[in-house]
Amino acid sequence: MSIQDIQNDIIDEFSMFDDWEERYQYMIDLGKTLPLIDEQYKTDDNIIKGCQSKVWVHAQLEDEKVVFSADSDAIITKGIIAILIRVFSNQSPSDIIAANTDFIDEIGLKEHLSPTRANGLVSMIKQLKMYAIAYQTQLN
């Protein structure tokens, strides 16, 4: 499934909810399905800088696809990283690098986050793309 297809699915899912309380609950539920990072990767090196909460992300290259795992100490943040990992995990580095993240605006996520959480969201996207750039360099 392409990144755009996954983003479209997420837009459709969020459109089913009438208000942001339901959407936050959905994000919390998504966080519970997150492929959790192995405890050995919960290190300072894997913490995303710029997040109010602690968010750990680990990436590895498998069959020329980037596979992400993550965790957070905050339930909403865990839901946010779960959405991003759903979009970007098991995709090629070049597809991750080229992907836009307009779906975040389409579901209204950024406007419903506190400024510090919105900054954290940007930091998460930036870090996932940085992993993709590093792996793309290895593949070339």
Positions annotated as catalytic residues are 51
With 0-12 CB in 10 A as exposed, 13-18 as middle and 19+ as buried, what is 139? Answer: exposed
Go through 8-39 and write b for each residue having 16 or more CB atoms within 10 A of its CB, e for each that does not: eebeeebeeeeeeeebeebbeebbeebeebee
How many degrees, rounded to 5, is the angle at CA 79 between CA 40 and CA 11? Answer: 135
- Cα 3 to chain centroid, rounded: 12
Residues 123 and 47: beta-carbon distance below 8 Å: no
